[in-house]
Chain A
Amino acid sequence: MSTLAVTEAPHIDWAGISSLIALFGGAVVVLLVGLLRARFARLTLVPVLTIVAFAASIGLAIWQWDEDTSLMSGALGLDPLAMIGVVGIGVAGIAAVLLSIGATAPREAAHGEYHAMMLVAAAGGAMFVGAENLITTFIGLELLSIPLYVLAATELHRRRSLESGLKYLIVGSVGSATLLYGFALIFGATGSLDYAAIADQVAAKGLGDDPLMLGGVAMVVVGLAFKSSVAPFHQWTPDVYEGAPTPVTAFMATATKVAALIAFLRLFDGALIGASDAWGPALAALASIAIIVGNVGALGQSSMKRLLAFSSIAQAGYMLVGVVVATKLGVQATVFYVLTYVVMTAAAFAVIEAAERESGHDGISALAGLGRRRPLHAIALTLSMLGLAGVPATVGFVAKLRIVQAAVDGDYSWLAIVLVVGSMISFVYYLRVVARLWTDEPAGVAVAPQSQAVEVEAPEAVATTTAVADPKGLPAAAVPGGGAVVVTGATILPMTVLAVVAGAAIVVLGVIPGPLMTVVEDVARAVPELFR
């Protein structure tokens, strides 16, 4: 018998955290493989392994679907809400990896590091969505954010990318600090870090109107609103989205949104449900501000990435509505929305990345006449825009319908009205994009069949040009003559695949939403506090 103080290590359920392990393990393997000198290892093996790691985490999450417990002394929840978060992030990750094939960013940052960071960020996200404890929440958040700060700046030759990374880092730190401060205050008020215990304390001691507690809640609202880019804490979003390399933007737009919204659900509809009288109206106000600011802001944009940034602000507002109502329906609606949002956004970014490679910029004008040149891309982007706008027969309509229903059911009819009006405004800019796709012929941008050089006009694209011409990391589309950028079907193929798959999903799920809806039914189990 040892006389030393015995600290009993918590029991670790390895199966329970297996999807986290897949992501972290994948990161290590990818990092090492990235060091190999062979071109094949860097250009092919690394992305493939990354996809395998993401797929494994999805598979393991599905394997663990029926579990409903807490792991490691209540630090992590193992329940459908966490698992669906892992699946969402995994899908977002796979999409981002596909977009990265042949892109500038991984070449400049080294393939191994780039993909490993993506995996680590995803692991952070997976932790964030499962966290049932303030400490794990914060660790998950930082683990998600820090690699993204770096990823945003990976196009080293482009100042906008560096600027974007720095901006994201600094403004992001303000958000994180606020969140942490809020956690500290909540801990001070309740004396507890576990969500379940916090909920008990709030209920038992009537902390619903305790100043310390509410001060903490206010700061947590700001921190999470920042992460999910809910107005008025959204300002970083357009700049960062526009500046970051497109695959990274796609990952940020999808994975971060999944993680942040699910964290919102867990924290507010779970741990802080007892104070919902206080935070309900505040979040409702934030949601409506986000809906208005996002939709109005998107109206005048000429860059697709900025447009999607503002659109994502509005979408975050819609999703927040499900959190506000604090009902079972609301939880299901938000989760359903966030998953469909991943699919719709992935389709959009796939087409934007492809168009950006062909034209050198991400302006809406780059999409002109795409309907003739690349009908598959044009159809996918059309579906994505219609879906985001909530047009019937797309999955976006079903998602919005559920949110509206949840709002009305939860006695927030006025919020439903804001939502409906907001999405009507959004038609203007979404349809503008669609109209561009199918009407004008592009001016000055040559169609790029097999070996025809594309004229690159935008000054920003110069950096891209030199980077692409870099002989070391040259993809299959190497140019014998050097210098000119050639875009062949091969470079665009991964984007086409992603666009087609996501586009098909938008329609199929829009017409037959039943199965996905059944899956989402389960998630409300994860927030038992709602049913007390």
Chain B
Amino acid sequence: MSPAEAAWIVLLLPLLGSVVLGLGFRVWRGAQAGIIGTASVGLAFVFTLVSLISLLGRKEEGTRQITSSLYEYVNVGGVKVELSILVDPLSLVMLMVVTGVSTLIHLYSLAYMRGDNGYTRFFSYLNFFVFSMLVLVLAGNFVLLIVGWGLVGAASYMLISFWYRRNTATTAGIKAFVINVVGDIGLVLGVILLLRHTGTVDFLEAFHGAKETFGEHGNGSLTAGLLLVMVGAFAKSAQLPFHTWLPDAMEGPTPVSSLIHAATMVTAGVYLIARLHPFMELSQTAQTVGMVVGCLTLLVAGTIGLVQTDLKRVIAYSTMSQIGYMIMGVSAGAYFASMFHLATHAFFKALLFMAAGSVIAAMASEQNLDKMGGFKKAMPFTYGAFVIGGLALSGIPPFSGFFSKDEILSVIGEQGGAYWLLYVAGYAGAFLTAVYTWRMIFRAFWGPPVEQAKELEGGHLYHAPDHRNPATGELEDTEVGFPGPEHHIAERAPAMKLAMGTLALLAILGGLLGIPKVLTPLEKFLEPTFEAGLAGHAVHPGNGIIIVGLVIGTIVGAAGIYVAYLIWGKPLSQGQPATTHSSKWQAKFAPVHRFFLNKWYFDELIDYAIVRPVRWFGRFAHDTFERLVVGGAIVGGTSGAVRGASALVRRLQSGYMRAYSAVVLSGLAVLLVYFLTQS
């Protein structure tokens, strides 16, 4: 089977699963639904492997980038759009990550969501999301990319608002959707701008002609187009200032957070920039913007993550921060390193979310870190998984995150000059990462066990007396919404255990994909994509900087863990309350703490800068203009004359029609004046 044929099957399977489940939701209410959903994605992973093996079989130069077209979609005015996919090493790496991690998350959900009333609906949505993501990844041209981009946004909206009876969930879904739509507008406009010059929508054709089209050093319209496209990338990847939707998106079920807000969807922006690298390299401005935004995001998100008390939100901010590394790297030309980090991050972040889900289930859907503690003994498996994920995230050797993060930073450091600022910021971010990661571990698993943990140690899973929304504390029904009548933890559900175990293994061994200078299978594999269109300044970091980087990385990570230990982990001397160390720190840095706790006031900033003026304008238009001008002057004047007429007449001839005619005529007057000035 050729790589492209297999890829088409990969694309088809989740769609099939979603449609079958969507139509058959009356038939398959129980476990069958989960099995169908998981099987479709699992098979997709198998066919991804087939495609990979088939592609690896092609040894000759230039045969590893295949555009396969199903049929011609649109052909007008010389612009031909085909329903085509591009199978090349880059898309295959993404395909591996997406289908692989998705399969595991489906497996996890099989047990985790078992108690939910919307079980079938959940798997149908989840399959649909995977399909959308695959469209985005496999797209062989700009139009299909936009299609996938839009579908992913829609699927994400559906999944975040999955518990639709929860106001907070629907609000979060809408917020995510709106911000994503802003990104979509950017992407569409950017692509339109680029297409005006390239004359073709096909990726490979456009890339081959990039230099002829835009010149050796790019031009204004290339930069403008790319910046607009990057708005789309930033919105989807939750980069500043479009990031506010991601923490709120944690309203979705935990497997959703794990799948789309850690491993797949949010990496779309990274993928997009990597895909468009032949364009990016022609525009210094676009590259700089990407690097600066990525760098700022990784720092800002890291600081916010330090002080959040919601377990899932801490991980969400961590995701933002890690994506910041990737965006920074991919904009700085560290393509391979960024894709490497994308893959390892998918492993350990999905793992962390799964472990968090297990803890949250044990807490009966309570997500507040302040109320957790001492789960180490009660949940040894979850604890182990969390620690492995945490070590990988903090960049401790030999875990996977260690190699991939340092690879990005060493490519950046190698370029010298102003890049050193990014280099330093990257390691500062790594320090923050280690601190907030281990803060979670120390607070949730160490210390004296809370009531829920004690109950679990006694062999019984804690159930809350009544169901409350974890975000607002409101009472809610169990009809829709977690945890339903029952909930599941990793310790007791083999499916969850299997999924987490596999990911833990990957989080440990993922580094083998790219140990600098020693073992670089991923880099070699990705070469055809990144060499073909390269403007010629591929950066290969020297031995010195690699070794320095590895050493600094280890020290920074270890230091971060130690600091976290001092504040949150150190056993307390007798008589002190549990939060002594951390509250001392909080008191010392109260303004900073408040600033971070309020997420740098980004939501407020957007509210004041955009939402309020728009709302004010809307009110003005409605109250003042409609009422006074239309209602008062036009309608009011005439209705006074007919007030004496009978009710029916007034109803039928209330003056509205005159008002309408008046508007028609005044519109005509304006047009007449315009046309006469044209003469």
* Residue from A213, A233, A329, A416 whose CB has the most chain B CB atoms within 10 Å: A233
The reply to whether B674 and A218 contact each other, CB–CB distance below 8 Å, is: yes
The reply to whether B675 and A217 contact each other, CB–CB distance below 8 Å, is: yes
Q: How far is the CB of A440 from chain B (nearest CB, A)?
A: 8
The reply to whether A159 and B185 contact each other, CB–CB distance below 8 Å, is: no
CB contacts (< 8 Å) of B559 on chain A: these are none
Q: How far is the CB of B671 from chain A (nearest CB, A)?
A: 4
* Residue from B146, B195, B675 whose CB has the most chain A CB atoms within 10 Å: B675
Q: Which residue of B lies closest to A417 (CB)?
A: B189
CB contacts (< 8 Å) of B652 on chain A: these are 159, 162-163, 166-167
Query: Is A219 part of the contact surface with B, judged by Cβ < 8 Å?
Result: yes
Could you tell me the distance between the alpha carbons of A174 and B663 in the complex, rounded to whole angstroms? 11
Query: Is A175 part of the contact surface with B, judged by Cβ < 8 Å?
Result: yes
Query: Is B74 part of the contact surface with A, judged by Cβ < 8 Å?
Result: yes
Name the contact of B651 in the complex, choosing from A159, A328, A513 (C-beta under 8 A): A159
Contacts of A196-224 to chain B: CB distance below 8 A: 209-211, 213-215, 217-219, 221-222
Name the contact of A211 in the complex, choosing from B164, B189, B676 (C-beta under 8 A): B676
The reply to whether B151 and A221 contact each other, CB–CB distance below 8 Å, is: no
Query: Is A424 part of the contact surface with B, judged by Cβ < 8 Å?
Result: yes
The reply to whether A218 and B675 contact each other, CB–CB distance below 8 Å, is: yes
Query: Is B72 part of the contact surface with A, judged by Cβ < 8 Å?
Result: yes
The reply to whether B660 and A171 contact each other, CB–CB distance below 8 Å, is: yes
Query: Is A226 part of the contact surface with B, judged by Cβ < 8 Å?
Result: yes
The reply to whether A424 and B150 contact each other, CB–CB distance below 8 Å, is: no
Known: A209-B679, A278-B675, A413-B192. A178 touches B77 (CB 8 A): no
The reply to whether A236 and B660 contact each other, CB–CB distance below 8 Å, is: yes
Could you tell me the distance between the alpha carbons of A159 and B649 in the complex, rounded to whole angstroms? 11
Name the contact of A397 in the complex, choosing from B147, B648, B672, B678 (C-beta under 8 A): B147
- Against A, the Cβ 8 Å flags (1 = close, 0 = not) of B639-679 are 00000000010011100110111011101100110111011
The reply to whether B164 and A214 contact each other, CB–CB distance below 8 Å, is: no
CB contacts (< 8 Å) of A421 on chain B: these are 185
Could you tell me the distance between the alpha carbons of A167 and B652 in the complex, rounded to whole angstroms? 8
- A-B contacts counted at CB < 8 A amount to 136
CB contacts (< 8 Å) of B154 on chain A: these are 391
Known: A163-B651, A178-B668, A236-B660. A214 touches B77 (CB 8 A): no
Query: Is A393 part of the contact surface with B, judged by Cβ < 8 Å?
Result: yes
Could you tell me the distance between the alpha carbons of A413 and B309 in the complex, rounded to whole angstroms? 47
- Against B, the Cβ 8 Å flags (1 = close, 0 = not) of A233-248 are 1011001000000000
The reply to whether A420 and B671 contact each other, CB–CB distance below 8 Å, is: no
The reply to whether B79 and A405 contact each other, CB–CB distance below 8 Å, is: yes
CB contacts (< 8 Å) of A329 on chain B: these are 76-77
Could you tell me the distance between the alpha carbons of A398 and B76 in the complex, rounded to whole angstroms? 11
CB contacts (< 8 Å) of B177 on chain A: these are 427, 431
- Against A, the Cβ 8 Å flags (1 = close, 0 = not) of B46-77 are 00000000000000000000000001111111
Name the contact of B657 in the complex, choosing from A171, A210, A435 (C-beta under 8 A): A171
Could you tell me the distance between the alpha carbons of A416 and B191 in the complex, rounded to whole angstroms? 12
Known: A170-B657, A408-B196, A427-B181. A517 touches B147 (CB 8 A): no
Could you tell me the distance between the alpha carbons of A468 and B394 in the complex, rounded to whole angstroms? 72
Could you tell me the distance between the alpha carbons of A211 and B668 in the complex, rounded to whole angstroms? 15
Name the contact of A214 in the complex, choosing from B75, B147, B678 (C-beta under 8 A): B678
Contacts of B27-42 to chain A: CB distance below 8 A: none
CB contacts (< 8 Å) of B661 on chain A: these are 170-171, 174
Could you tell me the distance between the alpha carbons of A218 and B678 in the complex, rounded to whole angstroms? 11
The reply to whether B679 and A211 contact each other, CB–CB distance below 8 Å, is: yes
Query: Is B188 part of the contact surface with A, judged by Cβ < 8 Å?
Result: yes
Q: Which residue of A lies closest to B147 (CB)?
A: A392
Known: A171-B657, A171-B664, A393-B147. A513 touches B188 (CB 8 A): no
Query: Is A357 part of the contact surface with B, judged by Cβ < 8 Å?
Result: no
Q: How far is the CB of A358 from chain B (nearest CB, A)?
A: 21
Name the contact of B150 in the complex, choosing from A170, A210, A239, A391 (C-beta under 8 A): A391
- Against B, the Cβ 8 Å flags (1 = close, 0 = not) of A390-405 are 0111000110011011
Query: Is A25 part of the contact surface with B, judged by Cβ < 8 Å?
Result: no
Majority SS at the chain B contact face: helix
The reply to whether B192 and A402 contact each other, CB–CB distance below 8 Å, is: no
Query: Is B310 part of the contact surface with A, judged by Cβ < 8 Å?
Result: no
Query: Is B296 part of the contact surface with A, judged by Cβ < 8 Å?
Result: no
Name the contact of B672 in the complex, choosing from A210, A218, A391, A406 (C-beta under 8 A): A218
Contacts of B383-414 to chain A: CB distance below 8 A: none
Contacts of A165-191 to chain B: CB distance below 8 A: 166-167, 170-171, 174-175, 178
The reply to whether A235 and B671 contact each other, CB–CB distance below 8 Å, is: no
Name the contact of B192 in the complex, choosing from A209, A233, A404 (C-beta under 8 A): A404
Q: How far is the CB of B158 from chain A (nearest CB, A)?
A: 9
Please tell me the size bucket of the interface on A: 35 or more
Could you tell me the distance between the alpha carbons of A159 and B650 in the complex, rounded to whole angstroms? 12
Known: A402-B76, A404-B192, A424-B184. A235 touches B668 (CB 8 A): no
CB contacts (< 8 Å) of B147 on chain A: these are 392-393, 397
CB contacts (< 8 Å) of A409 on chain B: these are 77
CB contacts (< 8 Å) of B675 on chain A: these are 214-215, 217-218, 278-279, 282
CB contacts (< 8 Å) of B148 on chain A: these are 392
The reply to whether A401 and B667 contact each other, CB–CB distance below 8 Å, is: no
Known: A513-B74, A517-B74. A416 touches B192 (CB 8 A): yes
CB contacts (< 8 Å) of A162 on chain B: these are 652
Could you tell me the distance between the alpha carbons of A210 and B675 in the complex, rounded to whole angstroms? 10
Query: Is B143 part of the contact surface with A, judged by Cβ < 8 Å?
Result: yes
The reply to whether A178 and B76 contact each other, CB–CB distance below 8 Å, is: no
The reply to whether B151 and A393 contact each other, CB–CB distance below 8 Å, is: yes
The reply to whether B663 and A514 contact each other, CB–CB distance below 8 Å, is: no
Name the contact of A209 in the complex, choosing from B161, B164, B181, B678 (C-beta under 8 A): B678
Q: How far is the CB of B84 from chain A (nearest CB, A)?
A: 14
Contacts of B170-212 to chain A: CB distance below 8 A: 170, 177, 181-182, 184-185, 188-189, 192, 195-196
Query: Is A74 part of the contact surface with B, judged by Cβ < 8 Å?
Result: no
Could you tell me the distance between the alpha carbons of A424 and B182 in the complex, rounded to whole angstroms? 8
Could you tell me the distance between the alpha carbons of A279 and B648 in the complex, rounded to whole angstroms? 42
Contacts of B92-138 to chain A: CB distance below 8 A: none
CB contacts (< 8 Å) of B143 on chain A: these are 401
Query: Is A332 part of the contact surface with B, judged by Cβ < 8 Å?
Result: yes
Could you tell me the distance between the alpha carbons of A303 and B642 in the complex, rounded to whole angstroms? 29
Name the contact of A424 in the complex, choosing from B81, B185, B663 (C-beta under 8 A): B185
Query: Is A232 part of the contact surface with B, judged by Cβ < 8 Å?
Result: yes
Query: Is A302 part of the contact surface with B, judged by Cβ < 8 Å?
Result: no
Could you tell me the distance between the alpha carbons of A170 and B657 in the complex, rounded to whole angstroms? 7
Q: Which residue of B lies closest to A225 (CB)?
A: B667
The reply to whether B188 and A392 contact each other, CB–CB distance below 8 Å, is: no
CB contacts (< 8 Å) of B679 on chain A: these are 209-211, 213-214, 278
Q: How far is the CB of B606 from chain A (nearest CB, A)?
A: 17
The reply to whether A233 and B657 contact each other, CB–CB distance below 8 Å, is: no
The reply to whether A214 and B676 contact each other, CB–CB distance below 8 Å, is: yes
Name the contact of A219 in the complex, choosing from B170, B651, B660, B668 (C-beta under 8 A): B668
CB contacts (< 8 Å) of A159 on chain B: these are 648, 651-652
The reply to whether A215 and B676 contact each other, CB–CB distance below 8 Å, is: yes
The reply to whether A282 and B651 contact each other, CB–CB distance below 8 Å, is: no
Could you tell me the distance between the alpha carbons of A167 and B653 in the complex, rounded to whole angstroms? 8
The reply to whether B185 and A420 contact each other, CB–CB distance below 8 Å, is: yes
Task: List 23 interface pairs A-B (beta carbons < 8 Å), by A numbering.
Answer: A166-B652, A211-B679, A214-B676, A214-B678, A215-B676, A221-B671, A222-B667, A222-B668, A235-B664, A329-B76, A332-B76, A391-B150, A391-B154, A392-B147, A401-B81, A402-B76, A406-B77, A420-B188, A424-B184, A427-B177, A427-B181, A514-B74, A514-B75
Binding site for A on B (CB under 8 A): 71-77, 79, 81, 143, 146-148, 150-151, 154, 157, 161, 164, 170, 177, 181-182, 184-185, 188-189, 192, 195-196, 648, 651-653, 656-657, 659-661, 663-665, 667-668, 671-672, 674-676, 678-679
Q: Which 9 A-B pairs have the closest CB atoms?
A: A392-B147, A214-B675, A218-B675, A278-B678, A211-B679, A235-B660, A218-B671, A222-B668, A209-B679
Known: A163-B652, A402-B74, A408-B195. 10 other contacts (CB 8 A): A159-B648, A235-B663, A235-B664, A239-B656, A391-B150, A392-B148, A393-B147, A401-B81, A401-B143, A404-B188
